């Protein structure tokens, strides 16, 4: 009921809070639309260095260097945003997005390996020739083997 109707005080304050939240996200959207090439480059550098800093691709010294470069790129990105608070919000959303991606990837990996571990615990039963479960089991094992090497 945030229209033209007469609102009570509680409804009015709820409408104001909703409008403030929408207005904030609209401002962030405008900041994303107004980004220049330098900001795109800084965002790319931040995302790449942040991923390398968290991963095990490079050694400890390399991860420290990537952490420093990611921090500098994020600070420069936020400084070039107008206003800078929205740049900080965009960097925070990128970190949360990467965390969600990593979490979902880990969950998919655990589910695939969990079925393999429980399959090893079950006694081996030889299926009869022409059993419908044989083709499905072979297909799933080939799919899991290919996904592990991606």
C-beta separation of 81 from 39 below 8 A: yes
**Rounded-to-integer distance, Cα 38 and Cα 107, Å:** 35
Per residue in 10-69, pLDDT (tens digit) is 555 555 555 555 666 677 677 677 778 899 999 999 999 999 998 888 999 999 999 999
Kindly state the average pLDDT of the residues 96-111: 92
> Which residue ranges make up each domain of the chain?
1-34, 35-121+133-148
Whole-structure pTM value: 0.56
Kindly state the average pLDDT of the residues 78-104: 91
> What is the per-residue pLDDT for 63?
94
């Amino acid at each position: 009921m945030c229209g033209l109707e007469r609102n009570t005080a509680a409804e009015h304050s709820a409408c104001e809070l909703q409008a403030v939240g929408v207005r904030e996200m609209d401002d962030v959207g405008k900041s994303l639309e107004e980004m220049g090439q330098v900001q795109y480059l800084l965002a790319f550098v931040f995302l790449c260095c942040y991923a390398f800093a968290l991963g095990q691709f490079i050694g400890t010294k390399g991860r420290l260097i990537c952490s420093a470069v990611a921090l500098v790129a994020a600070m420069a990105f936020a400084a070039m945003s107008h206003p800078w608070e929205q740049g900080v919000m965009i960097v925070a959303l990128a970190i949360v997005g990467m965390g969600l991606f990593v979490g979902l990837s880990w969950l998919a990996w655990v589910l695939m390996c969990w079925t393999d571990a429980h399959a090893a615990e079950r006694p081996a039963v030889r299926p009869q020739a022409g059993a419908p479960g044989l083709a499905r089991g072979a297909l799933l094992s080939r799919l899991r083997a290919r996904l592990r090497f991606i």
